[in-house]
Amino acid sequence: MEKTWRWFGKRDGITLDMLRQIGVQGIVTALHDIPNGEVWPEDRIVEMRDYIASYGLRWSVVESLPVCEEIKYAGSERDSLIERYIASLENLGKAGIRTVCYNFMPVIDWIRTDLNHSLPDGTSTLYFDYVKFAYFDCRILERPGAEKDYPAEILEKVNKMALTATEADRLALIDTIIVKTQGFVNGNISEKDNEPVRLFRQLLSKYENVDRSALRANLKYFLEAVMPVCNKYGIRMCIHPDDPPYQVLGLPRIVSCAEDIEWLLNAVDNPSNGLTFCAGSLSAGPQNDVVSMAERFKDRTAFVHLRSTQVFPDGNFIEAPHTGGRAHLIELVRIFERMEPDLPMRVDHGRLMLDDRDKGYNPGYSFHGRMYALAQVDGMMAAVRNEMENSSDRR
Ligand code: DNO
């Protein structure tokens, strides 16, 4: 696999010079300053590509070319937004960028309730607390009918939490769930918005009539429309699975398990319709056996995210060390290292450790934490290559 790194552009405190020194080969980035729904101009793409190349690296993957909500819920502007998406793909294709990661999660991308969960060794990591999330849904969003989506014992804890939660706790939860984690990845809500909850409710309301099968139909419609330009340039669209991989806030989520992925790959059976195998997201669903999913979908995997989680019986989950947890990264490296040598892989999410604090990194995207994880995965890759060489020697 090609060792890549998610880099947030020239304003990122982590420089390409630093990345070159730690063995990174390819860059995963986006034109983050261009609002969702606008065409990415060819000259901007070329400028970014050449800037990356000037450090001896390559722009391996676009993460993400965001899909507007209107495309997901099939609003009246859907077709013109798809036209613009195609124009961006055309410009990427001309510039030789061939791997494009996107997701089809309605309204909310990845979800965590705590961005600084302390660990006994002094580092901190990301955490999902099911009760806090239910509290956000029932008591902050006050989504009609939300209570029926949670078991009685969780609602009991939500009620307890309501007795003690302060205004500061409530604001912190809003900031974490719909501002800090979302702002840098999907642009629906940003730090500048002073009424994030109102905006969020508005977005949710767009999906009142969109169930699972409607969302599937909208994804198929989108993919069928973009396949011709992808085939023309050899672009592989690779969808990011839902994080966490189950339905939330009454919204359908359709890339959560093996059956969903099977459906998606068959619905548009085209090599340009591929998968981002995000081991961390998939591992947060107790229904998922991540290793068997990797074996099953490896041929349609165009991009690999390596991280792992530990899921607790109460529905909470934590980011596990890259050497542990439910995702079994060693086994995944055994599978993906045998695929094409330039299959892009990035380690995903790292702890906050050493000098990472107060650097203003996007949540999950620390420097030392990710460097540490990359070194661990690099070691796994070297061991697996060694196994492969030894077994072919024997043949
Ligand atoms: C979070 C990321 C996701 C991912 C997008 C891809 O850390 O894994 O936000 O980039 O879902 O579209």
Instruction: Using pLDDT thresholds of 50, 70 and 90, give the confidence band for residue 192.
Output: confident
Strand 2-6, strand 344-347: pairing:
parallel
Range of the domain at 179: 124-205
Q: Is the pLDDT of residue 70 over 50?
A: yes
List helix spans (H) across the chain.
16-21, 42-53, 69-73, 78-94, 130-135, 152-164, 167-174, 181-186, 196-205, 212-233, 258-267, 279-283, 290-297, 329-336, 368-394
362-394: pLDDT as tens digits? 999 999 999 999 999 999 999 999 999 998 755
Last residue of a domain, one of 171, 205, 239: 205
Q: Are 130 and 100 members of one domain?
A: no
pLDDT of 158 above 60? yes
Are the CB atoms for 171 and 212 separated by under 8 Å?
no
* Pair 275, 131 in one domain: no
Residue 186 to residues 30, 119, 268: CA-CA distances in angstroms?
11, 29, 25
Of 170, 205, 240, the residue at which a domain comes to its end is 205
How many structural domains comprise the chain? 2
| 110 CA → ligand 1 middle, Å | 6
Please choose, from the candidates 200, 205, 206, 165, the residue with its C-alpha nearest in 3D space to the C-alpha of residue 182: 200
Angle at 306 between CA 107 and CA 295, to 5 degrees: 100
Q: What is the mean pLDDT of the chain?
A: 96
Please calculate the CA angle 371-375-380 and round it to the nearest 5 degrees.
145
Ligand 1 near 186 CB (within 6 A) = no
Q: Which amino acid is at 132?
A: K
Per-residue pLDDT, 395: 46
Report which of residues 114 and 185 the model is more confident about. 114
What are the tokens at 54?
């000037």
Quick check: CB of 63 below 6 Å from ligand 1?
Answer: yes
Residue among 6, 36, 63 whose CB has most ligand 1 atoms within 8 A, to mutate: 63
* pLDDT level of residue 349 (50, 70, 90 thresholds): very high
Residue 72 in any domain: the answer is yes
pTM above 0.95, yes or no: yes
* Mean pLDDT (whole number) for 166-187: 92
d(CA 226, CA 215): 17
Beta bridge partners of 124: 118, 352
* Half-sphere exposure of residue 171: CA atoms within 13 angstroms, side-chain side: 6
Active site residues: 240, 278, 305, 348-349, 365
Residues 149 and 74 in one domain: no
